[in-house]
Amino acid sequence: MNVRPTRKRSLAVVLIAAGLLASVQAPVQARGRPAKGARAAAPAESQPKAKRVAVAAFEAPSSSQGRSLVLETLSQHDDVEVVALEDIAMAGKRLQADPSDPSGRRKLSEELGIDAWIDGTIEDETARIRMSSPDGRSLGVANVKGKSRSAVEADLGAQTWKALGPWLSVREQKVRALQVQQELALQKALAREQEMVRQRGLLQVRAQERVVALQTAQALAREKRTAFDAELARQRGVVEERLAQADGERKRLEDAERKRQEAEEAEFQASLQQSQPPNAGPVNEAPIVPAGGGIWAASAAPSVQPARVEPVASALAPAGRADGVSDPSAANPRWLAQRGAQPTAASAPMYAPVYAPAAAPAGAGAVSMEGVSPATRRWLEQQQQR
């Protein structure tokens, strides 16, 4: 008894699961690829609607093939449908509408679904194809010229489609737009190529100018370097020449100074020989200059007599003190000179000849330097300054 309800319950569960699965998959199909029916209907909707065109009789000679050439050109495009003249004539009889009259064409267009009417006129060397709307508004014109009527008719189909094709065919519009874009792209590519050629040429010119400028700069730098080296060598030569002149001048001055000193020494020695008193022994050392005049200050006085100094041992005895201690000032004339004392005969060295002048007479003035050579005078002045 419980088996049958269980089977019914399980069947209901299966059906509910299937429904849920179908409801889940439906949005996925809607978002993904379309169904078969929709896939089949998509091409029909994407295809543009073909335009119906009525080609009326041309005004041309009876032997003209212009209308047939235009029909042949239109028939090559599947998005253009040409309405036959027989259909137009039958509809005109039924509707009592004249295809050459604008009102009749309006009626025929509404009846047959005509989108445009094409009329043509062909003369000897010219042809004119005009397309108009059902209400008579002009949609396009194609004018063809040639050397003869046959040449005009041979080119009539192509020129008609060139002038009227974009309006008749959506596909032709896309093709023309694509052609325009291609031409524009080609022009851009050509312009880019020309610009690249121009820039390449400009780059080459600038590179050549740069090379010339660098060569000029290098030549100028070489000239400057050569001039700099020449000037440096010249200045080096000038310096060496000036140094050589300075060295020669220094040597010349040194030689002159040495000769001058030798001459002064010789003159001094000669003056010493000339100024030595008579009956005096040879002079070994320079005499001590007493304060208050030259060594020969009293030479002019008649009482001046040269005297020889006794040895130091005998000269120190009279100068000693009462206690028997010798006086150092008697044997050290420099010590006496530092204290402002006058050297005496006893204080002079034993080897230095001292000419002790007698006391000058009262009222005598400065000591006369007559008979003394200039070199001796200078030497005496130096001794006084010490």
17 confidence band (pLDDT: 50, 70, 90): low
More confident residue, 326 or 19: 19
- Over residues 273-330, the pLDDT tens digits come to 877 655 555 544 444 444 444 444 434 444 444 444 444 333 334 444 444 444 444 4
Please state, rounded to an integer, the average pLDDT across all residues of the chain. 74
Alpha carbons 364 and 349: distance in angstroms, whole number: 29
Q: What is the pLDDT of residue 270?
A: 86
Alpha carbons 268 and 259: distance in angstroms, whole number: 14
Residue 77 lies in a domain: yes
Residue 362 lies in a domain: no
**Burial (CB count within 10 angstroms: exposed 0-12, middle 13-18, buried 19+), residue 108:** buried
Q: Domain of residue 78: give its range.
A: 47-168
Residue 233 lies in a domain: no
Residue 103 lies in a domain: yes
Residue 82 lies in a domain: yes
- Over residues 129-162, the pLDDT tens digits come to 999 998 888 888 999 988 888 888 888 888 889 8
Number of domains in the chain: 1
- Over residues 200-236, the pLDDT tens digits come to 999 999 999 999 999 999 999 999 999 999 999 999 9
Residue 159 lies in a domain: yes
CATH number of the domain at 85, please: 3.40.50
- Over residues 238-260, the pLDDT tens digits come to 999 999 999 999 999 999 999 99
Alpha carbons 137 and 139: distance in angstroms, whole number: 6
More confident residue, 60 or 368: 60
Residue 386 lies in a domain: no
Residue 121 lies in a domain: yes
- At residue 377, what is the residue type? R
